[in-house]
């Protein structure tokens, strides 16, 4: 389950909340001759998927994709899934968007769609998505490997650098976390999430000056003086996922891979 970014620390932490949703009964229609989904519930069987990086969408389909992206931004993942099924499933950007939606619905099919994208023009998004799935499962070793690969493929994507930084943070690799989070912050200074995570890092380090800077002066002092105790409290309340990991509704993030849709990975 998704939880608050830092539920144990006053107003700064409570300000950012990720709402997760589960899809135990959603109905899925067949998605085309080259992609088959036989199950009636989301994700109970893996699809057979082919990806075409050269395929493009018609103007009408582009309008539908824009509507799907809007549904995603609103958190209406069931509606987004229903509408994306009207688009050609083999188009790479459609497949990536579909994978993101399925992951938001916690469908096992999401992993199959991401794997189908590996080795294609959207390999970076595939590795990112697989890293987020691994993090959701609590497998941070695998998540780190996948996210590092995604960062190598898409080094200027602020979302990937932020999520990689948060995984380092979870693994108590503070120096690496700071590097990635600062990179994410400078790539997308209008995105508040990397700064929030840097405030979290300062809290864990018991660094009052950095805490004041990154928290925007919200608190005059660190809420908890014992950094190690604070680290334990934070991550025992966030066992599988951070609020910013996996966000697919940040179209303002910079550095997207060529051909990537505005929505990225939540």
Query: DSSP labels for 193-256?
Result: HHHHHHHHHHHHHT-HHHHHHHTTTS-SS-S-S-HHHHHHHHHHS-SS--SSTT----TT-S-P
Predicted local distance difference test score (pLDDT) of residue 245: 54
Burial label, 104 (beta-carbon count in 10 A; 0-12, 13-18, 19+): buried
With respect to residue 178, please indicate whether it lies within any of the assigned structural domains: yes
Number of domains in the chain: 1
With respect to residue 261, please indicate whether it lies within any of the assigned structural domains: no
Q: What is the pTM of this model?
A: 0.70
Task: Report how far residue 208's alpha carbon sits from residue 214's, in angstroms, rounded to the nearest whole number.
Answer: 10
Task: Report how far residue 59's alpha carbon sits from residue 70's, in angstroms, rounded to the nearest whole number.
Answer: 17
pLDDT at 33 over 60: no
With respect to residue 187, please indicate whether it lies within any of the assigned structural domains: yes
- Greatest mean pLDDT among 10-24, 107-121, 190-204: 107-121
Cα-based torsion angle of the residue sequence 82, 122, 184, 101 in order, rounded to the nearest 10 degrees = 10
Task: Report how far residue 206's alpha carbon sits from residue 203's, in angstroms, rounded to the nearest whole number.
Answer: 5
Task: Report how far residue 6's alpha carbon sits from residue 20's, in angstroms, rounded to the nearest whole number.
Answer: 15
Judged by average pLDDT, the poorest of 61-65, 129-133, 208-212 is 208-212
Collect all residues with Cβ–Cβ distance below 8 Å to 104 and sequence separation of at least 6. 21, 72, 77, 246, 248, 266
Task: Report how far residue 235's alpha carbon sits from residue 215's, in angstroms, rounded to the nearest whole number.
Answer: 19
pLDDT tens-digit map of 224-248: 445 555 555 555 544 333 444 544 3
With respect to residue 265, please indicate whether it lies within any of the assigned structural domains: no
Predicted local distance difference test score (pLDDT) of residue 226: 54
Closest CA to 125 of 87, 97, 85: 97
Range of the domain at 192: 10-236
- Greatest mean pLDDT among 21-25, 26-30, 42-46, 63-67: 63-67
pLDDT tens-digit map of 71-96: 999 999 999 999 999 999 999 999 99
Predicted local distance difference test score (pLDDT) of residue 209: 83
The number of CA neighbours under 13 Å toward the Cβ of 57 is: 21
Mean pLDDT over 12-26 rounds to 35
**Helix, strand, or coil (residue 52):** strand
Mean pLDDT over 123-142 rounds to 95
Phi-psi region of 217 (alpha: psi -120 to 50; beta: other; left: phi over 0): left
Of the pLDDT bands very low, low, confident and very high (cuts 50, 70, 90), residue 47 is: low
The number of CA neighbours under 13 Å toward the Cβ of 169 is: 36
With respect to residue 2, please indicate whether it lies within any of the assigned structural domains: no
pLDDT at 179 over 60: yes
With respect to residue 58, please indicate whether it lies within any of the assigned structural domains: yes
Q: What percent of the chain shows pLDDT beyond 70?
A: 64
Residue given tokens 């989301």 in the structure block: 42
pLDDT at 198 over 60: yes
Task: Report how far residue 77's alpha carbon sits from residue 95's, in angstroms, rounded to the nearest whole number.
Answer: 15
Mean pLDDT over 145-171 rounds to 95
Of the pLDDT bands very low, low, confident and very high (cuts 50, 70, 90), residue 41 is: very low
pLDDT at 212 over 90: no
pLDDT at 253 over 60: no
With respect to residue 231, please indicate whether it lies within any of the assigned structural domains: yes
String of b and e for 61-71 (b: at least 16 CB within 10 Å)?
A: eeebbeebbbb
With respect to residue 129, please indicate whether it lies within any of the assigned structural domains: yes
The enclosing domain of 114 has a CATH number of 1.25.40.10
């Amino acid at each position: 389950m998704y939880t608050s970014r830092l539920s144990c620390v006053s107003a700064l932490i409570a300000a950012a909340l990720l709402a997760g949703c589960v899809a135990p009964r959603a109905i899925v229609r067949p998605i085309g001759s080259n992609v088959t989904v036989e199950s009636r519930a989301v994700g109970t069987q893996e699809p057979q998927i082919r990806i075409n990086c050269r395929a493009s969408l018609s103007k009408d389909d582009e309008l539908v994709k824009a509507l799907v992206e809007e549904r995603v931004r609103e958190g209406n993942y069931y509606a987004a899934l229903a509408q994306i099924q009207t688009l050609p499933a083999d188009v790479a950007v459609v497949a990536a968007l579909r994978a993101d939606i399925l992951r938001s619905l916690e469908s096992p099919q999401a992993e199959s769609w991401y794997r189908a994208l590996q080795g294609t023009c959207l390999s970076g998004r595939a590795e990112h998505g697989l890293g987020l799935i691994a993090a959701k499962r609590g497998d941070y070793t695998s998540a780190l490997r996948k996210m590092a690969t995604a960062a190598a493929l898409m080094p200027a994507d602020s979302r990937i650098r932020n999520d990689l930084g948060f995984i380092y943070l979870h693994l108590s690799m503070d120096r690496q976390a700071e590097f990635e989070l600062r990179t994410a912050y400078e790539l997308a200074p209008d995105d508040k999430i990397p700064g929030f995570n840097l405030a979290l890092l300062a809290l864990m380090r018991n660094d009052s000056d950095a805490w004041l800077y990154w928290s925007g002066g919200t608190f005059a002092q660190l809420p908890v003086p014992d950094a190690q105790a604070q680290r334990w409290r934070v991550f025992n309340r966030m066992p599988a996922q951070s609020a910013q990991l996996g966000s697919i509704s940040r179209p303002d993030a910079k550095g997207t891979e060529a051909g990537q849709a505005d929505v990225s990975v939540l």
